[in-house]
Amino acid sequence: MTAYLFDDRNIAWQPLGDFEHLLYAILDVDDENQIIDVLFKFAANRQIVLHRHKVLNKTFVIQGEHKLYTADGALKEVRPTGRYTNSLPSEEPHREGGGDIDVIILFSIRGDGLLYEILDDEQNILATINFADLKALYLTAGKPS
């Protein structure tokens, strides 16, 4: 079977603050059902910031390998292109990243209020991301056409 790369040249990728190795593009915000659909792009062979998911995240790997790491940086799981996953809220912090090419993942984030906790290496909370934060980014960046 022929392997293909996802053509993402028409996606308006945005940096998320000062977080390294991570770009995003919010596709939709559904206030009524409390769902945010967002594309994330994690750099190849890099790890993003340590964090916790505080709500249900449904993910679909569009391109590359979605790698998950423990808080100490050890590889925990590899999700190949085409993998769909329901990730329940968890107190276990982790990092994520791409394999040999940038990974592109569709996240369908389900829940209002606190979505993510951003942590330092000692697992102290540095920042939080909530529904209102992502909605504001969506409204500021403009809705995709």
- If we measure between CA atoms, which residue out of 24, 10, 4 comes closest to residue 104? 24
Task: Say how many C-beta atoms besides its own lie within 10 A of residue 37's C-beta.
Answer: 16
Q: Residue 63: its pLDDT value, please?
A: 97
Mean pLDDT of 42-70: 98
State pTM to two decimals. Answer: 0.94
Residue type for 145, please? Answer: S
Q: Residue 1: its pLDDT value, please?
A: 74
Which residues in the chain belong to E strands, given as ranges?
A: 14-15, 22-30, 35-42, 51-53, 56-63, 66-69, 75-79, 84-87, 95-98, 103-110, 114-119, 125-130
For 19-99+108-141, CATH gives 2.60.120.10
Mean per-residue pLDDT over the chain, rounded: 95
pLDDT digits over 74-133, tens only?
999 999 999 999 999 999 999 999 999 999 999 999 999 999 999 999 999 999 999 999
